[in-house]
Amino acid sequence: MRRITAIILCLLFLSISCQKKESLWSVEKVNSIHKKIDSLSSDSSHYYLKQIEHEISKNPLLDSLSLKNDYLLGNYFSAQGVLDSAAYYYQRTVDKVSDPLDYSKGYYYFFSAHESYVRLGKYGDCITIGKSFLNRIDSSNFRAKALGNLILSQAYKKLGDNEKSFFHNEQRIRMHLLTKDTSALFGTLINKADKLYYYKKNIKESFQLLDSLIDHEENMSLYHKRQLYNNYGVYQFLEGNFNKALDHYKKSLNFKKQMNNPLDKKSLFATSYANLAEVSIELKQYSNARKYLDTIKLLGIHNIPRHLRKSVLRYELKLANATNSNITSLYDHLDTIAKYQEQSYNEKIENELVELTKANEKEKQILQEKLETEIANANLKTSLLFGGVITSLLFSFGLLFYFRRKLKFERNSLQMQQRLLRSQMNPHFTFNTLYAIQNQIKKEPEKATNYLLKFSRLLRLFLENSMGDYIPLEKEIDSLKKYMDLQLLRMQNTFTYEFHYENMEEDEFLFIPPMLLQPFVENSIEHGFSDIDWPGKIIITLALQDKHIACTIEDNGKGLTFSKNHNKQSASTQLIDSFLKKSTKQGLEIIDRKSINTEHTGTLIRFSIPYTLTEEG
């Protein structure tokens, strides 16, 4: 009897749980997930956002959260480069914004929709967004009106309607003057110079305005500085002032490099390198033009704006003609673009078919749900409940395994950075440096001050480099040079060093893991050059290859035989060797130069460094 009672109670509990299933997603739970989206991985955030979207379609109580959910989905697809989906969700967000429009939130919703349509080349939709924004804001909100006129000015410019573009830019200037917003005014004045040059054909006034802006560039943001010099470079090029154009293009590129995660980064850099290639051809600097065009190829054809691909091909042809070189590479470039365009077209057709299929499936699903509601039975609910419990358990275990694995990887990565940082800032080097500074304070105070300044800059560089997984190549080389210069000051110039580059430059736009080279240079200085009676020399060679940078560090010190324990690698060397084996499948190669040539002394170290084109890795 007790068993029967227990079974009945269990079945009653399962039935109640099944009926309560729809209430598992509450407003508080959805809000909590929305707040945590930034801390989740992209895959996890997409999963939760789609789950919330599905629950909102079934539960009217959650409808108030659909606007924010659509906006976060738009952000996700925009970050992934899926522009059609991003525009779709941003448009849904704009359509759901209620009146009166709150500028602080409406700014992000409308401007995000505008940016997605700009990247898709749908400028007519940009005009619709701009007009809708202006119609729904308070007429006394001049800051918001400036934003609406910015959207319309840019859209009409892209459509070739210079008169309307100039009108809305003038309106934007008027709004900024009323709000006394000088930071935003810089961008508006840069656009005004653009209109004066192209629409009014008033070159002199346009150049005067740009020159006056350059006089106040210290008050500008990096975004406006790169825009100012880029536009000025274009005008100088069109006027035939190629040297000035080259100078402005380089300054614009430098400001872009300093910007933190600019929108559509690869497209932005591709435009700069294309401009530099064009003006280099005109100046007959063909080797530089070749380097800039090759850099564009490294960025990937799919990351180049559509209008720029035609220009790049034209520069390739012009360069081939000027240098009488083989145009086989040009044909390869054409084939790559053709394949990419064909792939894009097929994906578009496939997406359209998928959307039609989804629409049909949605209609069938609605009919099926109505039938299931009418003929629902307890057995089916119980089965669904058990299935849901099992699925939830599996999903929970999967999430737990994923986050534990992610935490372990992040912990190991942090430990590696900390150990390498400690190896760079070892007590021996720090003590010797401070001791040398102390001695110089008594004898040469001015020289000691200079020494201390260099030491502080080096420490700052070490700390900055240790914060990221990938840092600019030129930054890593700079910190290494500063380290060796300090050692030269301390050791009275007892050695020299050289850097050699193959297929690359020192300021190449590449990112590498930090703190890989310094431990080997330190070994050469502290151990290889100790007690030798000849001038020491370190040669560092970096060669750019397809997937890695081949690095060679060579010295003429005592070599591996100077230590009884030379077979035992230091902790930092073992750590670097382990890291390289995981990232490049190749470890360190440490060779005593005497084994190659008995007349030579010193150590030769070879290894491959992984690199990326972005600091995210």
At 467-476, the pLDDT tens digits run 777 889 998 9
| Distance from C-alpha of 71 to C-alpha of 5, rounded to nearest angstrom | 51
Dump pLDDT digits (tens) for 459-494.
887 777 777 778 899 989 998 998 898 888 878 788
Instruction: Compute the C-alpha angle 250/208/162, nearest 5°.
Output: 85
* More confident of the two residues 276 and 150: 276
The neighbour count for residue 535, using CB atoms within 10 Å, is: 11
Res. 552 pLDDT band, cuts 50 70 90: very high
Residues whose CB is less than 8 angstroms from the CB of residue 236 and which lie 6 or more positions away in sequence, other chains included: 242, 244, 245, 248
* pLDDT for the residue 239: 92
* pLDDT for the residue 544: 93
Share the mean pLDDT of the chain: 79
* pLDDT for the residue 443: 77
Dump pLDDT digits (tens) for 51-84.
888 888 878 777 778 888 888 888 888 888 788 8
Res. 380 pLDDT band, cuts 50 70 90: low
* pLDDT for the residue 251: 92
Res. 19 pLDDT band, cuts 50 70 90: very low
* pLDDT for the residue 15: 46
| Distance from C-alpha of 545 to C-alpha of 535, rounded to nearest angstrom | 32
Longest dimension (CA), the chain: 101
* pLDDT for the residue 362: 59
Residue 14 has pLDDT above 60, yes or no: no
| Distance from C-alpha of 144 to C-alpha of 104, rounded to nearest angstrom | 9
Contacts of range 118-124, beta carbons closer than 8 Å, 24 or more positions apart: 118/154, 118/155, 118/158, 119/83, 119/264, 120/83, 120/84, 120/87, 121/158, 121/306, 122/87, 123/155, 123/158, 123/159, 124/155, 124/159
Winning range, highest mean pLDDT, from 184-193, 222-231, 260-269, 302-311: 222-231
pTM for the structure as a whole: 0.40
% of the chain residues with pLDDT over 70: 75
- Residues shown for the chain: 617
Residue 228 has pLDDT above 60, yes or no: yes
Dump pLDDT digits (tens) for 360-378.
665 666 567 666 666 766 6
* DSSP one-letter string for 579-593: HHHHHHS---EEEEG
Cβ contact 471:465 at 8 Å: yes
Judged on CB neighbours under 10 Å (0-12, 13-18, 19+), 547 is exposed
